[in-house]
Structure 1
Amino acid sequence: MRSVQRGAAPYKYTNYKAARNDLAGRIGWFCSYCEMPIKNMIEVEHIHPVANGGNELDWNNFLLACRYCNGIKSNNNVDRTGYFWPDVDNTPLAFLYSELNIIEPAVGLQANETLFANSTINLTGLNRTPHSGNEPTDSDSRWISRLSAIGVINDSYNDWLANQNAAFARQIARTATGHGFYSFWMLKFEGIQIVIDAINSEFIGTYVPQKDAYGTKIIRPTGTF
């Protein structure tokens, strides 16, 4: 799950839906949870649900979500407590992605962190895939979009092996933003820093987790992880 930084509110909103384009201009046209690219029908999602006391018009309570993640999440979280959120936490370090198991808590998390990661996955059904025992609904096409992107990612990686230069790294990054699913690109190109840096630069609003001189994760100042 890509960490994002939306910055300060550009306006004081009287209708939360009006924040959609401003949010997309800051963090891109992607679901903040499943990372699927969405050019239309993207929704402004209240992190802390309004039905549970969340502020309907607070910029810091907005993220962008696909209708599937937003619909599954609904009002099921009482507040922000007990989950990892891409706007305040180092979410790329909390989850492990794979083509087989899709998304799981990262290895090496503390017990409470694993609990938070699992709660986040379950909140929006991020691990729903056919024949897994956790089936998507007929209308949930996230897994189809993800499979399509994984095919492009694998092709891009094979092309990289034959064209390892800065210009092609930037081209891969542009391809990545067109197909979405940021975390799968990061997984495939792990250890190839020139491509990783290009992807992080191309995905607008990406917050890259910080580490100290010993390589230890620095807890993001805005969150708990």
Structure 2
Amino acid sequence: MNVREYYSYLSAARAQLWNFLRALPPADLDRDLMESGDRFHSIKDLLLHVTDVEDHWVHGIVIGDSVHQQYPHDWVRPQATQYDLNWILEYGREVSGRTAAFLDSEPNLNRSVKLVQDDPASDTVTLDQLLWNVMTHEVRHTAQIALMIRQLGHTPPGWTTCGSRARRPRPNRPAQTRPTSTPTATTCNARSSYRVRMPSAALLSEGRRWLYVSVTGCAAPAGWRPCRP
């Protein structure tokens, strides 16, 4: 799977997540589920952060035409509770639409990109490496959001990684009863780690074909399994 194909898949999963979140109570999207967090605390914080990172690297660094100035906000500590969900998603659609158009233009993925444009000594990576980094970043935060949805008592959408049909989102549906040996978001005292396996060309340089996305929490999102010790 190449960058363009994976971004297309990621965009479909993102649209499914956005549609799901529109059906959730606004208070759930603003709820502080990461009280010890320094920069991010809510689902909306993470949504805004994911778009900020894609905009910075793809449109600010690679293309030189950032979208951020059209949607002014503090990207360091977004405090997204002050923004309406539709505003955040509109910003996300603008960024993702431009990224898709950029990929459709078939850019040279082997070209070198300076990570800090005004620093002559800046490290460089290939455009392919940079794009995989941006997409992997979104996958990680999507995993966090899925866990936060479950902590709120909802069942997150069942994304697909191999082309099979995904489950229809069901917001406001109580989490399924789990065996007493399985920790839940409301009763557990210990936090467990879970992971899902996804194909990733980003790790080929390390001799691995799979990306393991891990999250830590009291309840495992559907389709995830406990990490091995």
TM-score by length of 1: 0.26
Higher-Rg member (1/2): 2
TM-score by length of 2: 0.25
